[in-house]
Amino acid sequence: MAALVALVVLSSGPALAFPQTGYTIENGQLRTRIELESDAFKASPFEVRNNAILLQAQIDGHPVTAMVDNGADISVIDEATARALGIRLSEWTEQVITPTSSEGIVRRAHDVTLAVPGQFSINTETMATDLSALSALVGKKVDLVLGAEIVSNLTVVLDTGTGHIYFKGPGGIDLPDGVSVPLTDNAILDADLNDHPLRLSIDLGRLGGPLLTEDAWSRAGLSQLPTVDTEIVDAFGRRNRVKTTRGVELTFSHRSVISDVSVSSLPTSCSCDGVIGYETLKAEGILLDLSNKKLTLFGD
């Protein structure tokens, strides 16, 4: 089944309409099965800490704190949490690459059920690793990262006006008119920095400002500007010092955002010039629809 995702951030809380049909989606990757638990229009509270989107979820029926991250290929459980819950773990043989780390040590977590109560559940194999560095960066213990295998099969709605998050099936959503920004593969948007075109991958797990490759950094002329040394930490606990330019103007679809921009010599997970996260987009209402390769911006 074709992957579908719509992520919506609403600054003014307009009326939303969803189809009221429950269904089950089969996903061959890691024997994933997603089920909507209710046809009702239910929501869960969420909060934002250090630009991380956090909500209450469940692992095998136990309450945990989860982070939304469409940049993670699959969901990740904190290894200490997995062991405390008695989840069977084994060696993960594939290499795992993140935008800020070449690889990390992970385990395979067998036969777990992840859920947001009243909205969805997914029984799957997934990965487990030490998320303590991520928790420290966020400022709250993160037990679970909800990854792309969930986001790519559900409509996810963030209503910042009411502080609620919704997980629903594919279908129509009533939203105010906005500015449409076409996307290419892997949630990439076209942007301009210092009149230089860039291809940036939207990654809600990126907690800071845009992170560029060295080539993109040089092409955009940032190597000629003053920088400060900052530190980035990935989910595997790897710390990396990066150069950052303060107060750079980034433009996409005739909208300008002032943001700190960093450069990394480490590989990114896609063929792009860098990643852009919630910190840069949060001032705007956004609708991200990967099935139609479209980003819609509305509100100020």
Q: Note the pLDDT tens digit of each residue in 209-228.
A: 899 999 999 999 998 889 99
More confident residue, 300 or 142: 142
Residue 61: is it exposed, middle or buried by C-beta count within 10 angstroms (0-12/13-18/19+)?
Answer: exposed
- pTM, entire model: 0.81
Most confident option among 185-189, 270-274, 279-283:
270-274
- Going by pLDDT thresholds of 50, 70 and 90, the confidence category of residue 300 is low
Average pLDDT of the residues of the chain: 77
pLDDT digits (tens, 9 = 90+) for 141-167: 999 999 888 876 677 777 777 788 877
Residue 214, helix vs strand vs coil:
helix
pLDDT at 58: 97
In 3D, which of 165, 173, 160 has the Cα closest to residue 284?
A: 160
- Going by pLDDT thresholds of 50, 70 and 90, the confidence category of residue 181 is confident
More confident residue, 42 or 9: 42
Question: CA of 251: how far to CAs of 51, 107, 123, 254, in Å?
Answer: 20, 40, 41, 6
| Cβ neighbours of 172 (radius 10 Å) | 10
More confident residue, 287 or 246: 246
- Going by pLDDT thresholds of 50, 70 and 90, the confidence category of residue 23 is very low
pLDDT at 170: 59
Alpha helices in 196-251 (DSSP H): 214-219
Q: Hey, CA dihedral for 242, 248, 208, 151, is it positive or negative? A: negative
- Going by pLDDT thresholds of 50, 70 and 90, the confidence category of residue 13 is very low
In 3D, which of 276, 296, 291 has the Cα closest to residue 191?
A: 276
Most confident option among 104-118, 169-183, 272-286:
104-118
Residue 175 has pLDDT above 50, yes or no: yes
Do the bridges between strand 196-202 and strand 120-129 make them parallel or antiparallel, or are there none, so unpaired? Answer: unpaired
Alpha carbons within 13 A on the beta-carbon side of 294: 12
Residue 288 has pLDDT above 90, yes or no: no
More confident residue, 13 or 57: 57
Report percent pLDDT > 90 for the chain: 30
Residue 1 has pLDDT above 70, yes or no: no
The region, left, alpha or beta by phi > 0 then psi within -120 to 50, assigned to residue 219 is alpha
Lowest mean pLDDT segment, chosen from 38-42, 106-110, 199-203, 220-224? 38-42
